[in-house]
Amino acid sequence: MYGPAATGDAPLAPLWRLDAGRTLFIGTLDHNAFHQHGAPVFLSSLGGPFGLRLEGGPWRACEAAMIPAGRLHELHLGGDPLAVFYVEPDVAGAGELAPLLRDAEEAEGALVGRSSVIPLMRQLYEDRASLAWAEDALDDLVAYARPRARRGIDPRASRAVAALAAASEEGVSVPELARLCGLSPSRLQHLFASEIGVPIRRYRAWSRMRGAIAEIVGGASFTQAAHAAGFADQAHFAHDFRRTFGAAASRSLRGVRR
C-alpha cells in the first residue's frame, strides 16, 4: 500500500505527474478523436473496459493497451476515468510497457489486453494525497516492467532522445545530434523514426507539449505556459494539444490537483 484511500464526496481532480522521463495522467475523459503521441503510451482502465479504435481497425472494448509512438488512435470513455502513462524513449522503449498487460494480443500495431495495474491506478486516483508517493509508485512500475520487456531501443536513438531533452531552448540541430551518435544526418533521421516511431521534428513538438503541461501543472496559466514552452500564443498551444491528445486542453488540465 502506497497511501490511504480517498475520503469525502467532492469530485476528484485530474492527476498529472511529470518528471524528466515519464508522464502520468489519470482522470475522466469523454471522447478523444484520432491523435498520436511522440512517446509510447500505456492505457489502463480503473475498472470496466474503454473503447479504443486504431487507425484502419474497428472499435474494440479493452481494459488496457500499449500504443507505440506515432500510432493514430481514438478513445471513447463516456466520462469514466483512464490512466495514461507515457515513458520517454531514453527511459524505456515501447516494449518495456508491454509487461503491464496480461493476455495481450497484437492489434493494428498495438497491444491490447487486460491491465495488471488497475489497483495501483485506482489508488493513485482516489487518494487525494497521492502526488506525495506517485514517484515511488512509478519507479516500482518501471522496475517491474523493464526486466520483462520484449526489447529495448537502439542506444544511438536513446542517446539522441536524451540530447534533445537536455538541449537549451535554442535546441540542438540534426547534424549536431548525428555527430553525437556517430551517424550521418540522414542515417540518424531514418534510425530515429524507425526506433522511436516518429520523426525528430515530431518528437521535438511532443517535448514542447510536455513542457507546457508541466508549466500548467505547476500553476501557470495556459497563456503563461504556452509562452514558456515556446508556443506563439495560447491558441497555438490549444491547437497542438487537440492534435496531440484528440480533445481540448481544458478537459484534462483545468483544476488539476496540486
Instruction: Give the pLDDT of residue 7.
Output: 47
pLDDT tens track for 59-98: 999 999 999 888 999 999 999 999 999 988 766 555 677 8
Please give the backbone phi and psi of residue 14, each rounded to the nearest 5 degrees, phi first: -60, 140
In angstroms, the CA 58 to CA 80 distance is 21
pLDDT at 170 over 50: yes
pTM, full prediction:
0.89
Give the residue-averaged pLDDT of 25-45: 95
pLDDT at 192 over 70: yes
**Domain covering 15-148, topology:** Jelly Rolls (2.60.120)
Instruction: Give the pLDDT of residue 89.
Output: 73
In angstroms, the CA 201 to CA 199 distance is 5
In angstroms, the CA 127 to CA 32 distance is 26
Ordered strands of the 50-54 beta sheet? 31-35, 73-76, 50-54, 59-62
Q: Which residues of 48-75 are buried (b: 16+ CB within 10 A; e: fewer)?
A: eebebbbeeeeeeebbbbbbbbbbbbbb
Give the residue-averaged pLDDT of 222-227: 96
